[in-house]
Amino acid sequence: ILKTLNSWFWWENIWMPINCTWADFVDRDGLVFPKPHQLYAAIPYAFVLLIIRFFCERYVAIPLAKALGIKNVRRVKPQPNPVLESYFRECSRQPSQSEIKGLAKKCNCTVHLVEKWFRRRRNLEIPTVLRKFQEAFWRFSFYLTSSIVGFIFLYDKPWFYDIWQTWVGYPFQTLLPSQYWYYMTEIGFYWSLIFTLGIDIKRKADFMAHVVHHLAAIGLMSASWCGNYVRLGTLVMFVHDIADFWLEAAKMFNYAHWEKTCNMLFIIFSIAFFITRIILFPFWILRATLYQPTYYSTTFVIAYFFFNGMLLTLQGLHLYWGYLIFKILKRFIFLK
């Protein structure tokens, strides 16, 4: 069954233009093609990024936070109590007064002690400002580095200025070393975010949107690698990263209560977000993936619909986040 599913998944008509086979993608005459098995390397790269993150958060973010006046608040742990702990995890984090009385009788202690235990236990679940700062610092560091490196990799490429060049010579476009490292680092980063979903700070407003975004990003980058849509893929990654480090910087200064700096950075982020995600992405990237392939082929492969479906999903998330940003800007301008 697995062998049959594997043959279906790698059927040429799914991935590449008509009259092309996987045999055509063997390295030859100076041409180097991306290979699906290379994607496995993104997993160890993700663990390398997690190690780098650990050292960045501990040895760079914490001293920087202290310099900005952010203190490490130590929360008091409640006394170990298996009965209350089990109730907290399985039943309710905020029990009613009658439930508290029942638990007090069961534990042979006062109602006041049970209330105090639940209050301290709930406080442990709330991330400290320092923890939030550390996470924002790591994302800021990655997105800033990725944006700078991405620009260095792309600024001298013709498809950075002329989007039509992404299709010239397709699918026989050679893979550059810079494209390999750019892809592996980005995929590894999103895998690392998936691995740390359980310990990272959960934001109720858009937690599921982030999960969908991470999975869509990994799926899209991996599939574009297999289909050799690498030129377009690098442009998509660059457009996504270039606004994000402004947001993380605004968060960092917000945690430090530098309100004017935070407001200025958030306004810059909002401008960058609307330019890259609401204007450039749909009218530059999506135009290249939806419209321009019609000039090179009259027969669309299945991958055409898959890629564009994933890109449209990302655009839907952009519109959702754009709505949230607009709400914040509205409050900022009119309610100060």
What sign for the dihedral angle of Cα 205, 269, 132, 241? positive
Task: Enumerate long-range contacts of 30-36, CB under 8 Å, 24 or more apart.
Answer: 30/174, 31/172, 31/174, 32/174, 32/175, 33/174, 33/175, 33/228, 34/175, 34/180, 34/183, 34/225, 34/226, 34/228, 34/230, 36/10, 36/225, 36/226
Strand partners for 219:
none
Q: What is the pTM of this model?
A: 0.85
Q: What percent of the chain has pLDDT over 70?
A: 97
Tens-place pLDDT, residues 61-94: 999 999 998 887 777 788 888 888 888 888 877 8
175-228 residue pLDDT tens: 999 999 999 999 999 999 988 887 777 766 667 777 887 888 898 899 899 888
Q: For 225-277, what is each residue's pLDDT tens digit?
A: 988 899 999 999 999 999 999 999 999 999 999 999 999 999 999 999 999 99
Which range among 126-135, 155-164, 248-257 shows the weakest confidence by mean pLDDT?
126-135
Instruction: Give the pLDDT confidence score for residue 205 in this predicted structure.
Output: 62
Please return the burial class of 102, using the count of CB atoms within 10 Å of its CB with bins 0-12, 13-18 and 19+. Answer: middle
**162: CB partners within 8 A, 6+ apart:** none
- Domains (range + CATH), the chain: 30-68+128-335 (no CATH), 82-125 (1.10.10.60)
- Rounded CA gap, 154 and 146, in Å? 12
What pLDDT, on the 0 to 100 scale, is given for residue 297? 63
Beta carbons within 10 angstroms of residue 295's beta carbon: 9
| Cα 246 to Cα 254: distance, rounded to the nearest angstrom | 12
